Structure 1
């Protein structure tokens, strides 16, 4: 890609720079729905992303023939705009993960067994020097409806009666078997089947740049790549199919060239000289894509529709944002075991804009903020036990405590004939950590303690983060999400709605089964292969037991009284009563 050689090849990131990928609750919580401009906001940490469909051709079946694009506001340090739309991605069914650098099995002499390897070999290859695979591999993630982290199928799981053998599954009851080979390389692919019988063939490989990673300051670094297996075919249970065509090599960024369905729908996609999408055509109409140069990167700046109206995108600041922290004994320490000790180097406040073809303009402001967990046990890695001259800059806790990321602070909507509206966001992360009883830095897991066991397993001690949104007319909403380590992480616990002057006009609370023991359903369907309990929110069932809404002097209660073996409610009771004085 043009301009890519402008990036420094010697710079690296460290495991704690990517802790937002390890803390599952940062991804699993509910999002504020896509709005006029495609914006999506994670209600726990303010992570801002965009999703927009430019072309969607209806057909004789439910299989989609569409061209959709996505963008995530994130730290761009040592990253490149090598996606199919430069800094935007095309939303195509896929399975992806970051490896060091290729997606290979550890089975001796058979690296191609990326799907069917035995359980103890399913994790990605570990370098012989000091970096752990859990620092750079955060699970294999399936991007289809009902997808998510791929879990190892547990013995006794209720599986499809045909096909298989099934090695993987998701909490959405998608099951995955293996294909003998991929179409543009060697090694196995994946075949997924959803609960409604739709099948996906994942057998076209692509690779994207990731920053090198080092486990310690001054130590060796690992070359990494994001590996993606794209779907080449999607088929429903009636035999209707959609085919995806690509032209890239297995170790190059993806290049989707066409989508074709059995009922005659099709999309043709062309690329410019920089390797980014130039046009999309359905045979009668054409969409064009324009880009601008942003330092060493490129950024999608406009989408021109067939009627010549335009989406105008001003994400230059987002795409060029690089944040890092000072390193070295001559500078202030980077961190200790618990938190960052240095101030970030780079932009801590950014703004971007999108203009709708109708003329409506959205302005989005983000800030670099700290988020994290509560009740995290302390067990410090890289700690030199107080030896003279020890370097504390790379001390880090075994279980991620906190991370930094860009969070939405302000959204403004304006335009011709539209009254300017503004939303303001604020966050209280409520981060905390503690030793096990009797523990210390030199003895973090004393006799009687189980390392990694949750410190809190009740509502009396469990923590939560708080997000407050104040809208254009001083309406106010607060969201409380659980963030207590290995207990209520990622669950929406409470919503308060009202105004700045009357904040509790409606209060809704949710309760869950946090016991993590088998009921009518198992405590978990599959097993996460991520270490450090980073797959906790994907792995364990914690179904909703009840929702209580207090509003206008009454309390409305919905209770899920009984569940089936798939943790689905089979008995639901609703009632209401006056709120007790």
Structure 2
């Protein structure tokens, strides 16, 4: 265990999550059987084409996100947006989070979903009406009768972790990809990642050497093991270890009702299956545990060794809405204090509850949410239709290849920060086209072979204002101009002072035939960023290229030491989510001068080893070597850094202890006194006893290197 220190502070803030922006629709539907009373309400049903976004959501996760004052994370690719706030954050003597986070996903609802008991979109986890309480979990959407137990074409239950199978469905003419869009892992602050089945030939490169059976991974090189029993389920759970050596145990089984899906003239009932995290543990033996009530609402988040704990209380209604969260603080020399955050709700025009306020412990500071806001005198007010979208008849029936259309739809939202600042956000429903293989419709009709477009609420404008009503507005436009095999997003700066254009690849997968070079269809990847002034003069251009090649099972990507893919997904329609295509080069042009960064060589985990930087002033090549502890699954520790300016010795040379803690750093600074290195070494020796990555060790290291 790491040294413990009882005193701590509590932070409350809007926290930029870095989440990839998911587009999951929030629905509620009747489930045939479920231990969750929340699953017994609602009977929404949606056509399959309404959920095209789920099939390609992994590509959204590749695009840049920006966390801002109001917790917004915006995909520059599609404009998809979600908000994430950390209400409570208790720092401790280890890095494991004891936090209460919540998120709101801006995603479309069809009128049938007015039965949604949570009153809004997002994952079906709920707990805060139209917001979700964020906890770590593994999840998927399944047939409401067969669940995550019975494989397609089978009648008996199979272990969900140690076996790889597509789940069974009920309705004829409904495809499995209409019901199920793959299995994902959600980590607060990181977002959703698709769980990928490892290719058989790659476990030596991509999996721990601790004896566990190679099964699953993600695009983050997370490694999974199977647990024999999940609470409230007769099936397996999952244990996931991140490349930082943090292990999440997902073994608390819960269900939520979800909308049934319509396709081919038939309807299939569905539910969401969650395997909630019971604990998070680090390599030192520290752990944070989660406890839940019978419907899967978290009731406590507790550090087992550090004295940190958040307790959550819910109302007595069938919705089980969070009403308060409390922290008890023991301050040395003072009496124990309890600090409480309170949550209040207000019904929308559809009669469903929405989170209205979050009141901080001082009882005067609040987050305030308005889900229909128009500024006074607005010449183009947004109607009070919340997130509902009306798809127009004729709706495709047995011929989903006839693209559906929808009425124009907009959504506006004001968030008031506890400081008094306001954020006004406007969204418009739009359609993002994909470049997919052709022909894309079976002879005689039916469903598209590949999902050709995604419908989503995209951020149209963002206005920030302070208490003095001084404001700044950013505007966004999508699919602008002509772009072959790509799409442009244009952001206009406040006061029309300039624009930033983002160009993304929108080509299906990573290996679409006909792309040049082969395998260059990197869907969702940022290709160019162009900054212009108010006169449209170009100020700066950044062009990205990526490693290319064709995915072939069982062999490395041609010409490289790493596999062509992290693993194989299932249920979706976005193969690029599993493809390994690292950044190859970045070329920046500014005021007529070009700067180039080239990744010349890579290792087996697709990390750049040899990086060349060049400009009109010259060229420098830097080489990095890494230490990977595959037993504990701690990856990416920098061993040495050398360059061709000082070729004889490393410019950085790190040493680690048996637990992967940095214990010594040697830094060579050219054009400095030769004894500078020695002084740093001797200074570090005084801190060699620092064994763990706690705050005091970090401070000591910084002092040693100052």
TM-score range, shorter chain: 0.7 to 0.9
1:104 aligns with 2:152: no
1:341 is displaced (CA, Å) by 5.3
Task: Report how far residue 23 of structure 1 moved.
Answer: 2.0
**Residue in structure 1 matched with residue 270 of structure 2 by the alignment:** 224
- Does the alignment pair 1:542 with 2:581? yes
The whole-number CA distance in structure 1 between the counterparts of 2:385 and 2:82 is 13
Match of 2:641 in 1: none
Confirm or deny that 1:29 pairs with 2:62.
yes
Q: How does 1:287-302 map to 2 (within 5 A)?
A: 287-294=341-348, 295-302=350-357
Query: 1:520, 1:564 within 8 Å by CA — same for their partners in 2?
Result: yes
In the alignment, what sits opposite 1:187? 235
Which residue of 465, 482, 486 maps to 1:464? 486
Q: Match for residue 132 of structure 1? A: 175
Structure 1 vs Structure 2 CA RMSD: 2.7
Q: Which residue of 2 aligns with 1:358?
A: 419
**Offset at residue 46 of structure 1 (A):** 0.5
The count of corresponding residues between Structure 1 and Structure 2 is 522
Equivalent residues of 1:76, 1:319 under 8 A apart? no
Tell me the equivalent position of 1:451: none
Q: Does 1:260 align with 2:302?
A: yes
Distance 1:335 1:168, change over 3 A: same
Match of 1:524, SS?
A: coil
Any conservation in 2 of the 1:513–1:543 contact (CA below 8 Å)?
yes
Alpha-carbon distance between aligned partners in 2 of 1:484 and 1:430, rounded to the nearest angstrom: 17
Secondary structure of 2:283 counterpart: coil
TM-score if structure 1 supplies the norm length?
A: 0.84
Structure 1 residue 4 displacement after superposition: 9.9
Per the TM alignment, residue 540 of structure 1 is displaced from its structure 2 partner at its CA by 0.9
Match of 1:406 in 2: 457
Show the counterpart of 1:172: 220
Q: CA contact under 8 A between 1:112 and 1:186: conserved in structure 2? A: no
Kindly indicate whether residue 383 of structure 2 is the aligned counterpart of residue 349 of structure 1: no
Superposition pairs for residues 33-182 of structure 1, below 5 Å?
A: 33-77=66-110, 78=113, 79-81=116-118, 83-101=126-144, 102-106=147-151, 108=154, 110-111=156-157, 113-117=159-163, 119=164, 122-127=165-170, 129-144=172-187, 145=190, 148-157=193-202, 158=205, 159-182=207-230
Match of 2:507 in 1: 484
Task: State the partner residue of 2:322.
Answer: 277
Cα distance in structure 2, aligned partners of 1:147 and 1:16:
22
Distance in structure 1 (CA, Å) of the matches to 2:480 and 2:453: 9
**Cα pair 1:476 1:503 within 8 Å, conserved:** no
Partner of 2:570: 529
Quote the residue 2:444 is aligned against.
Answer: 384
Secondary structure of 2:128's match?
coil
CA contact (8 A) 2:93 2:306 kept: yes
Q: Does 1:562 align with 2:617?
A: no
Query: How far apart in 2 are the matches of 1:369 and 1:464?
Result: 17
SS in 2 for 1:59: coil
- 1:311 correspondence with 2:333: no
* Gap runs ≥5 in structure 1: 386-394, 432-460
| SS state at 2:536 partner | coil
- Does residue 1:505 correspond to 2:539, yes or no? yes
The answer on 1:495 being equivalent to 2:495 is no
Deviations 1:358-397 (A, max 9, x none): 111111111111112124322314x536xxxxxxxxx431
Q: Is 1:577 paired with 2:616?
A: yes
User: Contact (CA 8 Å) 2:253, 2:274: kept in 1 or not?
Assistant: yes
Q: Which runs of 5+ in 2 are unaligned?
A: 1-27, 29-36, 119-123, 329-337, 373-382, 510-520, 551-556, 618-706
Q: CA deviation at 1:522?
A: 1.3
After superposition, what is the alpha-carbon deviation per residue over 1:401-422, rounded to whole angstroms, capped at 9, x for unaligned?
1122111101111121352111
1:431-484 CA deviation, whole Å, 9 max, x = no partner?
Answer: 9xxxxxxxxxxxxxxxxxxxxxxxxxxxxx961111101111322101011001
Partner Cα separation in structure 1 for residue 244 and residue 172 of structure 2: 45
Instruction: Please state whether the residue corresponding to 1:527 is helix, strand or coil.
Output: coil
Do the aligned residues in 1 keep the contact of 2:434 with 2:508 (CA within 8 Å)? Answer: yes
Displacement of 1:319 in angstroms is 8.6
The more displaced of 492-501 and 555-564 is 492-501
- Other structure's SS at 1:31 match: coil
| 1:9-62 CA-partner distances (Å, limit 9, x unpaired) | 3x5212211111112465223233111111111101111110110000000100
Does the 8 Å CA contact 1:483/1:490 hold for their aligned counterparts? yes
* SS of residue in 1 equivalent to 2:52: helix
Going from structure 1 to structure 2, the CA distance change for 1:128 and 1:325 (only over 3 Å counts) comes to closer
Query: For the Cα contact (< 8 Å) 2:176–2:571, is it kept in 1?
Result: no
- Deviation string, structure 1 residues 513-567 (Cα, Å, up to 9, x no partner): 1213342111113122236xx2412211111100000002210110000000000
Change (3 A) 1:421 1:128: closer
Distance 1:373 1:109, change over 3 A: closer
> Which of 1 and 2 has greater Rg?
2
Equivalent in the alignment of 2:390:
324
- How many Å separate the matches in 2 of 1:570 and 1:333? 51
Deviation, structure 1 residue 318: 8.7
Q: CA deviation at 1:423?
A: 0.7
- SS of the aligned residue for 1:555 comes to strand
| 1:84–1:146 Cα change, 3 Å | closer
Does the 8 Å CA contact 1:430/1:463 hold for their aligned counterparts?
no
Which secondary structure state, in structure 2, belongs to the residue aligned with residue 396 of structure 1? coil
Matched, 1:240 2:281: no
